[in-house]
């Protein structure tokens, strides 16, 4: 399956990020976990439809 990106079973995490996004205050969110479990993809998927000027992602 090279070249195919699977994004499944992240509804709960996306809902959490959406709730934090909609709060009217600054938030720091730290994602941690084993390598290659999709942390960066989760953030990219969440931000793909957001209108933002800048996002800092450190991997």
In sequence order, which residues have a C-beta less than 8 Å from that of residue 30 and are 6 or more positions away?
A: none
- Where is the binding site, in residues? 33-40
Rounded to whole angstroms, the Cα distance separating 2 from 54 reads 30
Q: Could you tell me which residues are annotated as the binding site for ATP? A: 33-40
């Amino acid at each position: 399956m090279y070249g195919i990106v699977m994004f499944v079973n992240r509804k709960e995490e996306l809902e959490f990020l959406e709730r934090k996004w909609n709060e009217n205050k600054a938030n720091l969110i730290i994602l941690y976990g084993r390598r290659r479990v999709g942390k960066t993809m989760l953030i990219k998927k969440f931000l793909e439809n957001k209108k933002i000027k800048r996002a800092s992602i450190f991997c």
